[in-house]
Structure 1
Amino acid sequence: MRLALGQINSLVGDLKGNSHKILTVCKEVAQKEVDLLITPELSLWGYPPRDLLLDPALVYYQWTILNKMVGSIEKDCPNLSVLVGVAEPTPDCQIPKLFNAIALVQRKGWRIIARKQLLPTYDVFDEKRYFRPAENSGILDIEINSKPWRIGLTICEDLWVEEKLQGQRVEGADPLSDLREKGIDLLINMSASPFSLKKKSLRKELAVKASQRLKCPVIYVNQVGGNDELVFDGASFAIDQKGELSLELPRYKEHIDIWEPGRTYKIPPSLTKEREEEMLMNTLVLGVKDYAEKCDFKSVLLGLSGGIDSALVAVIATAALGAANVHGVLMPSPWSSNNSLTDALNLAKRLGIQTNTIPISSLMNAYDTELKEVFGESPKDVTAENLQARIRGTLLMAIANQQQHLLLSTGNKSELAVGYCTLYGDMNGGVSVIGDLYKTSVFNLCDWLDSKAADNCKESLGLPKQKELIGVSIRTKPPSAELRPGQLDSDSLPEYKVLDPILKALIEDRINPIELIKSGFDSEVVQRIQLLLKQSEFKRRQAPPVFKVSNQAFGSGWRVPIAASYSRLLKNESNV
């Protein structure tokens, strides 16, 4: 038996286009005498389709698409069978009205052969809004080359059942226990699992455990590509009957590979030795590339301040779209230092991107004049500081509109967390590129980018071969928004090396502030950060989508109310 792992990049909702992509792969693998092609979860829809699934016309249109696929397979590759991820309507009127299902498509027709049992509703997932859980595991009995095969079929979360490995799991039956009783020869898992730093090893550990429990090989096929704020890294693989890795596909790109039982494969070292910084860089580059392409943008725009955040976003954008399609705008105010302008221009020169410079002093003066009539004095303090950001944000949006660029927001996670950002100013943008990277992570990633260790990654991304891209001047200067003469971020916030561990504990680890204080963190600092986190929720609700790279990003997986009183409870409890 020859199986093809079809790691494809689907466009959400494009049933016709996605079917054409699958059929193109069918023709390719048929020439290599493949018997069964495996595609990712909901491959006909792209994941996650979200409320597109609530459109009955779109749901039933997929039957037309599947029928056309049957005709194409009969004509071009009659000996091939294909596993396609679909949304299957239920036979009654109860809600949810769909199953997350797998269809077997062959020259003789198509049929539903499996349905997802465990439906995640944590973090970014909301599958119970759309799908009903299946009661049984799927089995495919198929004869290939005169030999019968019994193949167990699972969909993504159905494999995530090891509480000791995961620390938790979705409530419901264990699909693997059901399959163990049915004596399968092979387990297939069709997935759409977004990237996060901890998932790479965990996916394989779960598959190895499944192989040991079922005493059979495991094939894991994952979606690749960016869809809104989620980036899927692919990294599909096969585990043999001994529980050892026998095949692994490249990350971050579409790829097709063939697996045969009992065959030994050589795993390239580059797939197993990828550093954390390299994974982050490749994920964010893929996110920008696909977000722009799938939203029909040919070019991107960003404000270049001479700071480290905008510098990193500029490098990521250049790797994603090429220097010719990245445009930077410098907008110096009376408080901008000469070093900032020089650093921004030197960065642009190293990357080869285009820039324009628009001084904003006259615009600031105009605002001061007009608002003095209302205030009785010139704007001051935070009002004046925010006006700078809003003037810049307005200019960037005007250029993006006029020249049809995608505006990239350059704020980091630390700033979003504590509200050190301005609505309708530096928060403007179509997508937030590094909004899930803490400031300390930004510094670490930039230090790595400018080191020899990043040479291979930079070359693979088509970035300039210069030793330094970010530049030592940008990497070593004290962080500042230059809101007033001599202003530093540390005037308003704790040092980032103090701030970021507390933020990670509160946001990602969900540790109670009281426990943080008991563990040794300064009480006043923790309470202040918790209050800022709470008070800034209204800003984050209006922020652009943030590419998710951590276990808890701001966005669809963060659902904290704006009007809430938990910060007052913290204050009262900590004084007991």
Structure 2
Amino acid sequence: MTLKIAIAQLNFVVGDLAGNAQKIVDAARHAHAEGARLLLTPELSIAGYAAEDLFLRPAFTEACDAAVLGIAAALADLDDMVVVVGHPHGGSLKSRSVSVQLRHNAASVIQGGRILETYAKRELPNYQVFDERRYFTPGQGTCVFKVGGIAVGLLICEDAWFEQPAQLAKYAGAEVLAVINASPYHVGKEGERVARMADRARAVGLPLVYAHGVGGQDEMVFDGASFAVQADGTLALQAESFKEKVVYAQVGRAQAAIEFIAEEGAIAPPREAEAQLWDALVLGVRDYIGKNGFPGAILGLSGGIDSALVLAIAVDALGKDKVRALMMPSPYTADISWIDARDMAERLGVRYDEISIAHTFESYKWALAGEFEGRAEDTTEENLQARIRGTLLMALSNKLGSIVLTTGNKSEMATGYCTLYGDMAGGFAVIKDLLKTTVFALARWRNAHDPFGTG
């Protein structure tokens, strides 16, 4: 007895309920044609993660419920196909003086045109980027359902990081754990997930499949890298990170136990940290700009390493035709700055323009001459240059619709080596989480690799 499980490692869009639903239906039909009889979608796949205060709108949750029913109806003809869909469920109790959340972070089990069960997430994270207790209340139950004679215990993300939900699923008869997730990426997160889920599998003595989405949403990036581990914690499947695809794992009954069937090539080879970090930055830029409908990006190119790195990321994310670089020299700009800026733009093939800020800078100084009389020039005048550049970039953004990418790194932001309303101005800070040492390391890696064939 075997069961082929499909993992919808797909890129969902917050609020695009119709698009997300269609993506699930298409994945289910494709998986069924490939012989799978269970499809796992990521946490909150209908709504997209994280929909934040959209969850507080009753109409949004009702629309999510309707979308889940729509998926059930669309797949009614596949009567032997089971699909797990993540979605918000329920509402809240409100008065003029109190608001009590009755809404759950849930997942429904669909088969034969019906919702068989709906499971509510028990453990709600409320740290770092997570704010789930603002929107949801914890569930209390378990969910175990059968597919092809195998009992599957359903958990949602944080549930699997704690002992009790998995133990309760086992007590309810689960033979394999299915964990659907929305787990934001950070350096080293992939290995951390595998280690923790291996611990969980060993603790309960059950194999575990970890279904994860991929894509960017505001400041978060989801890296995919779905996987499966045996009951002893051994890795049985590891999907590629940052790749949108349907991934398959097969479980079978060996004597009295369930285990994943080993397949050649099922474990993606490990990748160096810089390669994963580059993919995360590229995906974050591509999805922030694409999902928000910007036609392209613009950035100030100074001839320095930070703006050069951001330009390379933007071109890999969007293509050269959607990226524009602007050099804005002043009387204090060294020749090497514009020489390097021109060379970088030429190498990547982007539109490059130079707008001198000398006259604008002098007009600012003239306007302030009376107020500054008797005072020596200092960082005030230096910051004026940065603020002029920020104003010009934002004017082009307003006129053309392209978003301004800021180029400051985490070391500069942390120490205050930046200009308010100057080089901090823009719509998306691409490398704000990179220390300067990481900027250098990533630049060296990119000079040695061309992962997207952009030069």
TM-score interval (norm. to shorter): over 0.9
Instruction: Identify which of 412, 415, 423 aligns with 1:415.
Output: 412
1:227 & 1:53 partners in 2: Cα distance? 16
In structure 1, the partner of 2:22 is 20
Contact map agreement 2:151 2:174 (CA 8 A) in 1: yes
CA distance in 1 between counterparts of 2:404 and 2:139 reads: 43
5+ unaligned residues in a row in structure 2: which ranges?
252-259
The answer (yes or no) to whether the contact 2:175–2:207 under 8 Å persists in 1 is yes
Aligned equivalent of 2:49, options 41, 47, 50: 47
CA deviation vs aligned residue, 1:218-276 (integer Å, no higher than 9, x gap):
1101111000010000100111234222222221121102211142123477x332111
1:58-99, Cα deviation, whole Å (9 max, x unpaired): 111122212221221014x33311100011115866612211
- CA separation of 1:60/1:150 partners in 2, compared to 1, >3 Å: closer, same or farther? same
Q: Paired residue for 1:67, among 45, 66, 69?
A: 69
Structure 2 letter corresponding to 1:182: A
- TM-score w.r.t. length of structure 1: 0.74
Once the two structures are superposed, the pairs formed by residues 433-452 of structure 1 within 5 Å of their partners are 433-451=430-448
| 1:537 aligned residue | none
**Does the 8 A contact of 1:7 with 1:223 survive in 2?**
yes
Contact preservation (8 Å) 2:160, 2:197: yes
What is the identity, as a one-letter code, of the residue corresponding to 2:233? Answer: G
Q: Structure 1 residues 430, 111: closer, same or farther in 2, change over 3 A?
A: farther
The partner residue of 2:343 within 323, 342, 346 is 346
Percent identity over paired residues: 39
Structure 2 counterpart of 1:216 = 206
Q: Is the 8 A contact 1:87 1:99 kept in 2?
A: yes
Change (3 A) 1:153 1:209: same
Instruction: Give 1:500's aligned residue.
Output: none
**Residue identity in the other structure for 2:122:** Q
Measure the CA separation in 1 of the matches of 2:210 and 2:175. 15
Matching residue within 258, 265, 268 for 2:248:
258
Contact 1:15 1:62 in 2 (8 A): yes
- Offset of residue 393 of structure 1: 0.2
Cα distance in 2 for residues equivalent to 1:227 and 1:286: 10
Contact 2:209/2:229, CA 8 A, preserved across alignment:
yes
Task: Check if 1:139 corresponds to 2:137.
Answer: no
Match of 2:105 among 100, 103, 118: 100
The aligned amino acid for 2:40 is: I
In the alignment, which residue of structure 1 is the partner of 2:165? 175
Q: Which has the higher strand share?
A: 2
1:88 is aligned with what amino acid?
H
Alpha-carbon separation, structure 1, partners of 2:275 and 2:147:
43
Structure 1 position 122 matched with structure 2 position 127: yes
Q: In the alignment, which of 301, 317, 328 is matched to residue 304 of structure 1?
A: 301
Q: How far apart are the structure 1 equivalents of 2:112 and 2:64? A: 17
Q: Give the aligned length.
A: 441
Matches within 5 A, 1:56-455: 56-75=58-77, 77-89=78-90, 95-136=100-141, 138-144=142-148, 147=149, 149-161=150-162, 174-261=164-251, 262-267=260-265, 271-376=268-373, 380-451=377-448, 455=449
Q: 2:378 and 2:190 mapped to 1: Cα distance?
A: 47
RMSD between superposed Cα atoms in Å: 1.8
- For residues 365-397 of structure 1, the C-alpha deviation after alignment (integer angstroms, 9 at most, x for no partner) is 111111113433688312211110000000001
Q: In structure 2, what residue type is equivalent to 1:57?
A: A
> What does the per-residue CA deviation read over 1:521-569, in whole Å, with 9 as the maximum and x for residues that have no partner?
xxxxxxxxxxxxxxxxxxxxxxxxxxxxxxxxxxxxxxxxxxxxxxxxx
| 1:180–1:213 Cα contact (<8 Å) kept | no
Q: Which residue of 2 aligns with 1:491?
A: none
Partner letter of residue 151 of structure 1?
A: V
In structure 2, the CA distance between the partners of 1:356 and 1:53, relative to structure 1 (3 Å rule), is same
AA paired with 2:119?
A
TM-score (norm 2): 0.93
SS where residue 114 of structure 1 aligns? strand
Contact map agreement 1:179 1:214 (CA 8 A) in 2: no
Contact 1:101 1:112 in 2 (8 A): no
Shift of 1:279: 1.2
Instruction: Kindly report which structure 2 residues correspond to 1:524-563, keeping only aligned pairs within 5 A, or say none.
Output: none
Structure 1 Cα separation of the partners of residues 227 and 418 of structure 2: 41
- Taking structure 1 as reference, are residues 160 and 44 closer, same or farther at Cα in structure 2, changes over 3 Å only? same
For 2:12 and 2:237, the matched residues in 1 are separated by: 23
- State the SS of the aligned residue for 2:7: strand
